[in-house]
Structure 1
Amino acid sequence: MRDLGLLRRRYGYYWTRIGLVLAALGGIITGFILLGDSWFQLLMAGALAVVLTQVAFLSHDSAHRQIFNSAGWNDWTARLLSGALAGMSVSWWRNKHSKHHNAPNQLGKDPDIAIGVVAFTPDHVARRTGLVKWLGDRQGWLFFPLLTLEGLSLHVASIQHLFRRGATRLERVEAAVVVSRVGGYIAALYIVLPMGKASAFLGLQLALFGVFLGASFAPNHKGMPLVPASMKLDFLRRQVLMSRNIRGGVMVDFAMGGLNYQIEHHLFPSMPRPTLRKVRPIVREYCQVHGVKYTEVGLFESYRIVIDYLNNVGLRARDPFQCPLAATMRN
């Protein structure tokens, strides 16, 4: 990949996207001020959710060191994009996300399938009783509505991490940036708008932000094989067998921030986003030659799989003859 120039930095691409995001944010702020006391502000809330989702994608790329050759430039760009613009902690996210990349879908190691509101593993389902179990049996249908709370959850988790005991000096600086951004944003809403409109703006923006981000993350690994905690896999199989690509064109690339090339991203996490689509046919051919299953589906098909898997996660796992990786490693 390096010899083919596929790991080369794409400065023009990223500076253009950062510039467009900053211009869009400037336009939204201007529109917000000019509209004043109006329910049309909800259009600004929706637009802000779209733009902040793109900010989150850029922060993700920078945290993976896809943008610059310099580690310092990548780190500070990620902090500024995530903290100052999106109001989230990149240090909290990086710690969690690094564990996910090291062991995708591996029980006890991947925090993305840890116990929470949604049960991703049979063991989590077995602990539920009563109303919680009833809801759990239908959690697939509830998954996307629950994503409306994901935006709020990300802000809360960020602040909890930054204000925990033992936070580093750099994290304390990040805490000041995140709190200033979140506090300033909320204050501006309630200064410019009456309480009802300000609350509606804030609620809609957070809900859409959570849905947009969650809808881009959910198809990547949910419903793919779970790896037992003690199982050892080589790097190629560990990253490919538990990941799913999403087919689509420019609109899917935009909506998912390049995460639709999840297999390539897991194999080459520092590869610039626009290069992932170019390396896809190479990776696909390599997997075919070496007998490694390469999974790729359409966007809506991926959502169907996620909903179906979450609704049946407990039931499917009760078959004692099903090994989590058996289906993918046969033949």
Structure 2
Amino acid sequence: MGKGGEKKEEEDFEKKVPLYTWDEIEKHNSRTDQWLVIDRKVYNITNWALKHPGGIRVISHYAGGDGAADAFQAFHPNLTFVRKFLKPLLLGELAPGETGQDHQKKLELIEDFRALRKTAEDMELFKTDLVFFSLHLGQLFLLEFLAWFTLSYFGSGWIPTLMAALILATSQAQSGWLQHDFGHLSVFRKTKWNHLLHKFLIGHMKGASGNWWNHRHFQHHAKPNIFNKDPDVNMLKMFVLGNTQPVEFGKKKIKNLPYNYQHEYFFLIGPPLLIPVYFYYQITMTMIAHRDWVDVAWAATYYIRYFNTYASFYGFFGSVIFVLFVRFIESHWFVWVTQMSHIPMEIDNEKHKDWLSMQLDSTCNIEQSIFNDWFSGHLNFQIEHHLFPTMPRHNYYKIAPLVKSLCDKHGLSYQVKPLSQGFKDIVGALKKSGDLWLDAYLHK
């Protein structure tokens, strides 16, 4: 066939491909009718969303809207494999001339960010140092042994008990950071090995549920600090966050708690209770409701191991109190580390921002140091983690200067704070939101 025949064949093919405008696509954003746009291709994900490994909500948050392409690439280390599932769902393409809904003026920014990701791939920053993660795993086994050894050697008095609790809380916190790595598929090339180690760490080492974590945490990454999409800002009306929600609650005269004092009662119902009360109640109920017996079995191995180890020191009921005390300590550690990079940032309703701008507006970094890296599980590089969630954390510091350079080029804020300032800003942000609520409640 000549070149003219080939060209005609291509033109005939293009004519057969259905073309859609954003006006049409925006109509398909309900639970029973969902269209997704990735790299200008339009997919009907209505039925697939129910089977999505990351959960129905995380993929549904992008239905009928723009921005899915960068999120799709950020969450999936093996794009070739995932595209096999998308192929049967293809409906057509965006019509020529249709650009992103709100991104026409930011096309250069989006292109620059994608070029940055390509640079990171060329620098092999998605390549894992297995020795790094092996040492962190070995750290957990050492801490677990030291806790048992402390009680075996020194007895179960108050001082050895406090020492053992601090060691176990450290083990639990560090297990949390490590399961986070495997949950994001950032360690092994093969997904199944990441899933297996994730189940082991969050189930056997922590007594929690891998599926619960996946469905909750991926929503947070897909739409950070966005109401009704990020479960981490769903505070069950115990707190009001950001600048918009406090005013809305105030105008509606919603007063479940005296929000103008939330920066004070945060110390009573926030860090102390999140893990031992709210999280473990939610985890248990979720596993039972979803009949997730695999995760139940993994969690059961933790409690079997735990009570088999510590019942000889404290008895059954004493061991229950001991584990709750460990969770109490861990909860403080977890809350302060995870919230210092989010609560002080922009928290609002959906604004349909591009991937880079959305992550920068909702996250900030904490200064790098050996202690800060270890203490936070490298979540002091929260910006880099949110931009590249499958990147191994030991490479964040390498990509950080390039991210900052991109931000400087486009006039975007790249915030870095001392650890102490990050903690202070949590309280300051809660006080500011509480004051906004009180003003709206009294005067509007």
Q: TM-score range by the shorter chain?
A: 0.7 to 0.9
Larger C-alpha radius of gyration, 1 or 2?
2
Distance in 1, Cα, partners of 2:330 & 2:345: 25
- Aligned equivalents of 1:2 and 1:97: distance in 2? 24
Aligned to 1:59: 179
Q: What percentage of aligned pairs have identical amino acids?
A: 24
| Change beyond 3 A, Cα 1:319–1:162 | same
Distance 1:319 1:150 in 2: 29
Q: How does 1:36-115 map to 2 (within 5 A)?
A: 36-39=155-158, 40-115=160-235
Q: In the alignment, residue 284 of structure 2 is paired with which amino acid?
A: I
Q: Is the 8 A contact 1:42 1:201 kept in 2?
A: no
- Alignment partners' CA distance in 2, 1:19 and 1:183: 21
What does 1:189-208 align with in structure 2 at a 5 Å threshold? 189-193=310-314, 198=319, 201-208=322-329
CA distance in 2, matches of 1:142, 1:279: 38
In the alignment, which of 409, 416, 425 is matched to residue 289 of structure 1? 409
* TM-score (ref. length: structure 1): 0.87
Residue deviations 1:143-199, cap 9 Å, x none? 2443111221322221111111x43xxx31111221342355246534421578646
Question: Does residue 1:151 correspond to 2:275, yes or no?
Answer: yes
Aligned equivalents of 2:308, 2:239: Cα separation in 1: 33
Question: 1: CA distance between counterparts of 2:317 and 2:437?
Answer: 46
Match of 1:160 in 2: 285
CA distance in structure 2 between the partners assigned to 1:279 and 1:141 by the alignment: 38
- Two-structure CA RMSD over aligned residues (Å): 2.2
CA separation of 1:315 and 1:253: change in aligned 2, threshold 3 A: same
**Runs of 5+ consecutive residues of structure 1 not aligned to the other structure:** 321-331
**Cα displacement (A) at 1:203:** 3.5
Partners of 2:345 and 2:362 within 8 A in 1: yes
**Number of residues of Structure 1 aligned to a counterpart in Structure 2:** 312
* Displacement of 1:316: 3.2
Give, in angstroms, the shift of residue 17 of structure 1.
1.1
Which secondary structure does the structure 2 equivalent of 1:6 belong to? coil
Other-structure match for 2:151 = 32
Aligned with 1:139 (options 258, 262, 270): 262
The partner residue of 2:337 within 194, 198, 216 is 216
Once the two structures are superposed, residues 34-83 of structure 1 have per-residue CA deviations (whole angstroms, 9 ceiling, x without a partner) of 33332221210111001110011000011001111110111110110010
Q: Which residue of 2 aligns with 1:250?
A: 370
- Report the TM-score when normalising by structure 2: 0.66
State the partner residue of 1:3: 122
Q: Residues 95-123 of structure 1, C-alpha deviation per residue, up to 9 Å, x if partnerless?
A: 01111111111121111111323332324
1:232 paired residue number = 352
- Higher mean C-alpha displacement, 57-66 vs 246-255: 246-255
Q: Which residue of 1 aligns with 2:131?
A: 12
Q: Is the 8 A contact 2:168 2:326 kept in 1?
A: yes
Greater relative CO (CA pairs within 8 A, separation 6+): 1
- The answer to which of 147-156 and 82-91 deviates more is 147-156
Output the CA distance in 1 between the equivalents of 2:234 and 2:423.
20
Decide whether the 8 Å contact of 1:115 with 1:124 is kept in 2: no
Structure 2 residue matching 1:261: 3-state secondary structure: helix
Moved more, 238-247 or 182-191: 182-191
- Segment of structure 1 superposing worse, 292-301 or 257-266: 292-301
Query: Contact 1:21–1:51 (CA<8 Å) still a contact in 2?
Result: yes
SS at match of 1:66: coil
Asked whether the equivalents of residues 130 and 187 of structure 2 are also in contact (C-alpha less than 8 Å), the reply is yes
Residue 5 of structure 1: how far off its partner (Å): 1.5
Closer/same/farther in 2, CA of residues 318 and 151 from structure 1, 3 Å limit:
closer
Cα distance, 1:226 vs structure 2: 2.1
| Residues 1:199 and 1:75: Cα distance change in structure 2 (over 3 Å) | closer
Contact 1:45 1:204 in 2 (8 A): yes
Distance 1:288 1:250 in 2: 26
Structure 2: state its 5+ residue gaps.
1-119
Contact 1:104 1:242 (8 Å CA) reproduced: yes
Partner Cα separation in structure 2 for residue 238 and residue 43 of structure 1: 42
**SS at the partner of 1:220?**
coil
Q: Contact 1:264–1:279 (CA<8 Å) still a contact in 2? A: yes
